[in-house]
Structure 1
């Protein structure tokens, strides 16, 4: 994974954001977190992020709406969608939008780390693809 990569966590649940952020920081990643998609989109982080991990269901703009808006703005950052309320339709829509991974909550931070490493890692390195549960 490129050194200096920035991961943005977008989730309305403070505990989830803090848990994932703390774990990623403990392995040396730079992390920024946001409690709402709109806050992330208004930040300067949009221009410098290497991967976005977002909750599917949030008040206001949801995770798929965030993904759509990033694409509309021409921001081709990889997006990992996570949710506690997975449906085949949500999974299919995330896949059709080009989500890099789709994981069910509660999320194992090791799985998220694997997904981020697979997405941002050296393409010459072989390994399992990101999770699309």
Structure 2
């Protein structure tokens, strides 16, 4: 792919509000998502007697917490190169099932969240490559 076309395609992506701070908050956001994802898995592994369904109240509550943590993570701009690598590695690992109790692929990051992660990575690279020039 032509580098100009690739850069133009990334620049043309819709802007997503992202969080940034002095410390690299991406590490906190990753840990928050790991915890929320594990709590959701634990809360939904027990099923109601005589059914194959988890407690709907727990499923909704812990599902909301996981989605909130996922949204926060996917909208946090890393502030260090190590943070950017950690973010990208974590998203791939979640998708591959590394953090799933069953080891199966996890679609915690939907299309919108993945787009946000890419936009945040682009924001990081733009900021750091511009300041390095």
Using the size of structure 2 for normalisation, the TM-score is: 0.28
Q: Which has the larger radius of gyration?
A: 2
Structure showing greater relative contact order (alpha-carbon pairs closer than 8 Å, 6 or more residues apart): 2
The structure richer in helix per residue is 2
> TM-score if structure 1 supplies the norm length?
0.28
